[in-house]
């Protein structure tokens, strides 16, 4: 069956949530909630910790726990998870990137890359404690 044979549906509006995976949620919480200052929504034991990101949510899951079948029939979320480093990008105003770079370096977080894209937007890249590639970029990086 081709795409044109399927029922019509409008495209999604925006990303509501995105997930990264980390085996050590205490280290993830110190990084995302402490160093980056994100607002924690909830933590459930060693399974996950969630953070508010404007209108969206950053989900940090322990892959060993999310691979298990759901134990609550009222919340039948299928098992899932990823292994190895993922990637996440925060939108950060250009004038704040220098402050973020200084804060990260002062906390001992190495900056892997700091450059300007062909369209003039700047990005900095670093790693979280789980090895995920984290980027902070000017929102105009994807301006159409």
Within this chain, do residues 90 and 64 fall inside the same structural domain, yes or no?
A: no
Within this chain, do residues 90 and 137 fall inside the same structural domain, yes or no?
A: yes
Q: How confident is the model at residue 80 (pLDDT cuts 50, 70, 90)?
A: confident
Q: Residue 60: what pLDDT?
A: 97
Mean pLDDT value of segment 17-46 = 96
Within this chain, do residues 92 and 138 fall inside the same structural domain, yes or no?
A: yes
| Residue 82, CB-side half-sphere exposure with 13 Å CA sphere | 15
Q: Residue 10: what pLDDT?
A: 80
The number of folded domains in the chain is 2
In CATH, what number is assigned to the domain containing residue 40? Answer: 3.10.180.10
- If you write DSSP's letter for every residue of 88-106 in order, what string do you get? EEEE--HHHHHHHHHHHHH
How many other CB atoms sit within 10 Å of the CB of residue 1? 5
Residue 89 belongs to some domain of the structure: yes
Structural domain containing residue 92? 85-144
Percent of the chain with pLDDT strictly greater than 70:
100
Is 88 in contact with 135 (CB distance < 8 Å)? yes
Cα 14 to Cα 33: distance, rounded to the nearest angstrom? 24
Q: How confident is the model at residue 90 (pLDDT cuts 50, 70, 90)?
A: very high
């Amino acid at each position: 069956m081709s795409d044109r044979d399927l029922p019509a549906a409008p495209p999604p509006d925006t990303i509501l949530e995105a997930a990264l995976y980390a085996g050590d949620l205490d280290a993830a919480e110190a990084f995302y909630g402490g160093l980056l200052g994100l607002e924690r929504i909830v933590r459930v034991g060693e399974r996950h910790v969630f953070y508010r990101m404007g209108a969206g949510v950053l989900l940090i899951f322990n892959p060993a726990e999310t691979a298990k079948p759901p134990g609550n029939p009222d919340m039948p979320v299928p098992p899932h998870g990823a292994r190895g480093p993922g990637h996440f990008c925060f939108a950060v105003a250009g004038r704040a990137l220098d402050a973020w770079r200084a804060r990260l370096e002062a906390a001992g977080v190495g900056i892997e890359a700091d450059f300007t894209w062909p369209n003039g937007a700047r990005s900095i890249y670093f790693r979280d404690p789980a090895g995920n590639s984290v980027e902070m970029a000017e929102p105009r990086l994807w301006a159409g």
